[in-house]
Structure formats: C-alpha cells, structure tokens
Structure 1
Amino acid sequence: MVDRPVEKGGEDRGAMGGELLLVALGGCFLSNLLAAIRAREAPIQEVRVVVEGTLAEAPPRYRQIRMEVQARTEDRALLEKLVTMAERACIVANTLRGGVDLEVRVV
C-alpha cells in the first residue's frame, strides 16, 4: 500500500511513492546483477545493495541517488565489471539517468 505519514495527510500505513522509487531502482539493479553473477557462475556471494536518496528543497524530488554494492568475493575486478553491466541493463536506472517525457491527463 502506498501512503504517507500522518503529518503529511496520510495514515502512515505504507511507503511513500518516492521511497518506492528507490526500492524499484534497487530491485531492478539487483535482479540484473544477480542474473549476471549466476550466468557466469561467478564466485560472488552475500550480495547486498543499499540505495539512498538526497531530497531537493523544491520542487519535491531526489537531487541525488546513490547505490552501494556490498558482496563477498576475492575477484573485485569481476564484481565491478558485473556491477557496470547490471547498471547498464537496469531499466529504472536508464530511465532516471536519461529523463523521461511524463504526461498526466484526466480521462
């Protein structure tokens, strides 16, 4: 369920849309990274992605989003290569980076 805190007019029963955007980015990226690791049978375990966003003053938006990848591996160069591949394959990252024409209309 999507909601907002009581002080922002909601009932605090779920994440806000902006929080879900960060979840979508992390999930999209991580699924691509795990697929790349599995496809190559890479010796990489305990993969974790932390996504953080910094809010702008106005209009409400994220001015910066950071993803940090943590994993257990002895081949850091391979991990970095697979992270780059996952980043390039992530539809959410590509959309955020390239911008998108957004249309809102009442029907």
Structure 2
Amino acid sequence: MDRPEEKCGNNLGPMGGEAMLASLGGCFMSNLRAAIAAREDAAVDEIELKITATLAEHPQRFSAIHMRITAEADSAQLQKLVTTAERACITANTLRRAVELSVSVG
C-alpha cells in the first residue's frame, strides 16, 4: 500500500481505496465463478467486471460503488448467478451494510 508522490507517498502501490475496490471485485468474481461451476447447465463465457466508484469528501470516502457485469450468457441465468454471487460475497455484504469500526492505540 502506498500513495502517489503528490499525496506524500512513494507511488509504490495502490492506495487503500483502490485496494478495497480490487478486494470487492476479487471477492465477487470468485463467488460468481463458484456459482457458475456449481451449475452444470451454466453456459457463461467472456465474463467482465467493471467497478466504478463516486468519491465524496468531508470525510473522504466512497459514497457509491457500482459493479457492472457483462458476459456471453443467457441474461436471466446470468442475473440468477450474479444474485447468488452477491449474497455470498463477504466484501459486498460488509460494504452494503456498513460496519462498526473502532481504532485504539496501545
């Protein structure tokens, strides 16, 4: 983890927010692939996931995150698989429902 030089970092890695979005995408896609593998009749090819996020300030945070999934598949079947993956994705569930966060020293 790092920050760009203009934000007092060394630009050696992603920032925390970028890593969080990558984590969301990885978690969701692993669950989607598991849902596809569990269905013998699932014919899904060329899966692509695009994540966009809206950045808000004061305090700086993401105010909205959107995942768009495209694939060569029957749209009704793909929607069912996406719903299954959404329900199983711990990262999506945590972000959607927020979390109580505490910080301590020592």
Instruction: Please state which band the TM-score falls in when normalised by the shorter chain.
Output: over 0.9
Aligned partner of 1:64: which letter? A
* Residue ranges of structure 2 left out of the alignment (5+ in a row): none
1:58 matches 2:42: no
Q: Distance in 2 between matches of 1:48 and 1:31?
A: 12
SS, match of residue 64 in structure 1: strand
| 1:20-71 Cα distance to aligned partner (Å, 9 max, x none) | 0000101100100000001103100111111111100221100000101011
Aligned partner of 1:59: which letter? P
SS, match of residue 47 in structure 1: strand
Q: Distance in 2 between matches of 1:30 and 1:58?
A: 31
Aligned partner of 1:5: which letter? P
Question: How many matched pairs?
Answer: 105
Q: Distance in 1 between matches of 2:53 and 2:86?
A: 17
| Counterpart in the other structure of 1:68 | 68
* Residue ranges of structure 1 left out of the alignment (5+ in a row): none
Q: Distance in 2 between matches of 1:53 and 1:20?
A: 13
User: After the TM superposition, which parts of structure 1 deviate over 3 Å for at least 4 consecutive aligned residues?
Assistant: none
Q: Distance in 1 between matches of 2:87 and 2:36?
A: 15
TM-score by length of 1: 0.95
Q: Distance in 1 between matches of 2:17 and 2:5?
A: 16
Cα RMSD of the aligned pairs, angstroms, is: 0.8
Q: Distance in 1 between matches of 2:64 and 2:99?
A: 17
